[in-house]
Structure 1
Amino acid sequence: MRKIFIITGLLFATVISPAQEADQDSTLIYKKRVLESTEVDFLTSYYSQDGDNAAVSGGIGTEELTDFTPTFVVSIPLNADDVLSIDAGVSAYTSASSSNVNPFDGGKPADPFVASSGASSSDLWANMNASYSHSSDDRNKIWSAKASLSSEFDYFSIGLGGSYTRLFNEKNTELSINANVYLDTWKTIYPYELRPFGKNGNGLSNSLFNDITGDTNYDPIFQEFESKTRNSYSVGLGFSQILSKNLQASLALDVVQQEGLLSTPFQRVYFKDVEDSFIENFQLADAIEQLPETRFKVALGSRLNYFINEIFVVRTYYRYYNDDWGIKSHTASIELPIKITDKFTLYPSYRYYTQTAADYFAPYEEHLSTEEYYTSDYDLSKFNANQYGFGVSYTDIFTKFHIWNFGLKSIDLKFHQYKRNTGLKANMIAGGFKFILD
């Protein structure tokens, strides 16, 4: 296809008079396509984690989880200037933590450190995105629009967004702005022992409480959420500058406003001023997580990439984050791509993260029942984390290997190991395969 465009451009140029050539932009004679041919990416990852601070059981209990996520991304050139991209994927996970939304439906005695075998132990998340981008004739202006849908058993989301990018200074300077809106709807699922205290329940007279121990006058603080929606609005600004032939820097500012149901309905909380009640080995919830219905987030990030030589490149990243829930965080990472041959590159990397606790966080049985907001979700706690990674990529610009009419352009494989000082540990293996339609 590229050869056809080159030959056509040359033939067209030979029949234009010199005077006409002087008046016309060369991009009208031959213009390189933004995307030469259809590309198909197959991405997949396997993630596993474990820990002992499950939010579902009030800050204690197993956090064991596995997740498998395959995704397809198809990019289609509509003409020389426009590209349509569609990506679709699913995430299939099993979670010992979420299985304890109802810890009493398994064959073993209920226990926060033991997974239940009920329906809440696994779920499937599906997502689809479509984006359209247009580049100007001189390739100095790019705008795009996108839409997304995602769904899970207790969650549905619609997303809309767009961006505009402007390049200056012979494409050495780049400015961009993007905006996104996500409209989410929850199906509110509450801890099993609290459901008898809802609108249509019969309270403590429910047969579930026939074998209650500890405080037998179980009386939780519970009221069903009225709002079942969550809206997120974000605006991002970007600036990138090539400082020299070896050095490139960029800055990014992101602002996010969230409104609606920001609490997770099935996450329990236990109070230190309330006597404990149990069924089997599982402590019954004193309440569910309560968080404000608004959240404002600001993040400022920077990248600095330095080309040392044809073998080594250094990529660095730093981000500062702040929100009105009291969380402040710092992220720093470094990646050192090592090109060992024309086709193979190694990617060792390291990432450090630290954050303060949200104003509304406290560990298991540290909250008071008189507080307005409370959560024992350790994602909102004070912690620091280290992540070590290693990857390898294979690139063949000539796409010698074929599957039907698709040539294999690249393969990327990466492994990451993640550890928090709270005890959470995770591993992830990810792979990506890029094919080009001949």
Structure 2
Amino acid sequence: MQLTHPKSVSAILAAASCTLLGSPVQAQETVEDWQFDTAILYYGESDRVQLVEGVFNANKDFGNEQIFNGKVVIDTLTGASASGAVAQPGVQTFTRPSGNDSYQIAAGETPLDDTFRDTRVQLSGQWTQPIAEDLRASGGLQVSKEYDYLSIVGNGSLAMDFYNKNTTVTAGLSYALDSIDPVGGRPIDFSSMIVDSGQFNNTDAYQQAFDDTRIYGSEDKDTVDLLFGVTQIINRRMLMQFNYSFSTSDGYHNDPYKVLSVVDQQGLTQDILHESRPTQRTKHSVYWQTKYALDQGVIDLSYRFATDDWEIDSHTIDSRLRFDLSETSYIQPHFRYYQQSAAEFYNPFLLESEPMPEHASADYRLGEMTAITVGIKYGMQLQNGHELAFRLEYYQQDPKNAGFDQPGALASLDLYPSVKAVIAQVNYRF
């Protein structure tokens, strides 16, 4: 959300090196006025999820590197989300997560649950200040609440400057406690979806069968993240940053709204099961970023490699080229490429003739995929000193077949449809 038009190369580098772990670090010793950033973002997938998000960010420098940052985020999500079940040559009937209704999916169509609706409110605050010469501390708290999800995150970091502030070494720690209480309760791992197709004598009998597949009440997940980073000013034009991060989580990792199909040798669905994921996950990632100040702009290039014990390996290349059109306006093309391998327990479907695995999920977000984002941003400084920017991007995600045979009827169906989306954003800074 930083829209400042830098007046010099040194200002560009100062802005580029502002933070690790999301906590701003500035070098001003004078007290500055409050600075506010606002943004409205729209994300829309074709025939799927629609997101509208509003962000209000406040930043205050009290002098001597004592800085407060606060943020409010409100977003709403609507639309249809892929359930994980496979398409079939005939009409399919599914029960909604609440158990109070059912819906049908036409032949050949990817099963989507169109009741995906939620509103999220997130509040966060961060305080940064020096605690010794060339040593700064930062701490913050973030609370995020959705209808069925509560997340509380605390973080702290230390940043030490060396060599006349040309090198900054950072270490950070965060702890997150997430609590989920799904609509309709938490499905028991690998329990069958209960569909009322006339086999129950009354409503009570159906409800009892549904309740037998559920665990009611909330479940928790704990996540600890560690980050170690080095930011180095190479010369008056170039800055580099290297990070290593470690994350471990324990608790409820299932998506309670995802299912997977059990098919026979003809590819016809015989059962619909609720997914099962491991209760622990450990992740490692390394990150490199370079910013280079041109006479009329900035080149920003980064690469991230991530791996975890679910056997998901990912590569991300992100590039931006900011070009100053004038003293008060700029454009910034953006390109991002992402590629990941499938989780070891990812299965687009299960075969009824094979033994039940320990864990399985058909969530395409855990499968093999590539994704690209291309777009452009235009920003300008207004006569009153405020700043306005517009961003428009196209996103396409292409799931891949990670080596699974498609028996019978599945051979002629698209089990890995692409996800296409448009992203539009307006920023205003004052």
Q: Which residue of 1 aligns with 2:147?
A: 153
Aligned counterparts of 1:34 and 1:426: Cα–Cα separation in 2 = 44
Q: Which residue of 2 aligns with 1:18?
A: none
Q: Among the aligned pairs, what percent are the same residue? A: 19
Contact 1:98–1:121 (8 Å) recurs in 2? no
Q: Which residue of 1 aligns with 2:279?
A: 293
Aligned counterparts of 1:225 and 1:296: Cα–Cα separation in 2 = 28
Q: Structure 1 residue 384 and structure 2 residue 370: aligned?
A: yes
**Equivalent pairs, count:** 366
| Structure 2 CA distance for partners of 1:98 and 1:351, relative to 1, 3 Å | closer
Counterpart secondary structure, 1:375? coil
Contact 2:263–2:350 (8 Å) recurs in 1? yes
Shift of 1:102: 1.3
Q: Which residue of 1 aligns with 2:289?
A: 303
Contact 1:157–1:185 (8 Å) recurs in 2? yes
Aligned with 1:411 (options 388, 404, 420): 388
- What is the RMSD computed on CA atoms of the aligned residues? 3.7
* Deviation sequence 1:186-209 (CA, Å, 0-9, x none): 1033599999x89xx999636479
Q: Structure 1 residue 272 and structure 2 residue 263: aligned?
A: yes
Question: Which structure has greater strand proportion?
Answer: 2
Aligned counterparts of 2:337 and 2:187: Cα–Cα separation in 1 = 39
Where in structure 2 are the equivalents of 1:188-207 lying within 5 Å?
Answer: 188-190=182-184, 205=200, 207=202
- Residue identity in the other structure for 1:429: A
* Deviation sequence 1:73-113 (CA, Å, 0-9, x none): 11234454422222112111102227976188779756575
Contact 1:271–1:369 (8 Å) recurs in 2? no
Q: Structure 1 residue 426 and structure 2 residue 411: aligned?
A: no
| Structure 2 CA distance for partners of 1:79 and 1:274, relative to 1, 3 Å | farther
Shift of 1:261: 0.2
Aligned with 2:125 (options 126, 130, 147): 130
Counterpart secondary structure, 1:245? coil
Q: Kindly name which structure, 1 or 2, has the bigger radius of gyration based on alpha carbons.
A: 1
Aligned with 1:46 (options 39, 42, 46): 42
- Residue identity in the other structure for 2:429: K
Where in structure 2 are the equivalents of 1:4-19 lying within 5 Å?
Answer: none
Q: Which residue of 1 aligns with 2:251?
A: 260
Contact 1:389–1:415 (8 Å) recurs in 2? yes
* Deviation sequence 1:400-424 (CA, Å, 0-9, x none): 42xxxxxx53222212211122311
- Structure 2 gap segments, 5+ residues each: 1-26, 84-93, 400-417
Where in structure 2 are the equivalents of 1:141-290 lying within 5 Å?
Answer: 141-190=135-184, 205=200, 207=202, 222=213, 224=215, 228-273=219-264, 286-290=272-276
Shift of 1:249: 1.4
Contact 2:82–2:110 (8 Å) recurs in 1? no
Contact 1:415–1:429 (8 Å) recurs in 2? yes
Shift of 1:234: 0.1
Shift of 1:174: 1.0
Question: Which structure has greater helix proportion?
Answer: 1
| Structure 2 CA distance for partners of 1:142 and 1:285, relative to 1, 3 Å | farther
Contact 1:220–1:286 (8 Å) recurs in 2? no
Q: Structure 1 residue 375 and structure 2 residue 369: aligned?
A: no
* Deviation sequence 1:93-144 (CA, Å, 0-9, x none): 1022279761887797565758767xx4321111100111113686x32211
TM-score (norm 1): 0.74
Aligned counterparts of 1:107 and 1:289: Cα–Cα separation in 2 = 19
Contact 1:34–1:82 (8 Å) recurs in 2? no
TM-score (norm 2): 0.75
Aligned counterparts of 1:113 and 1:136: Cα–Cα separation in 2 = 56
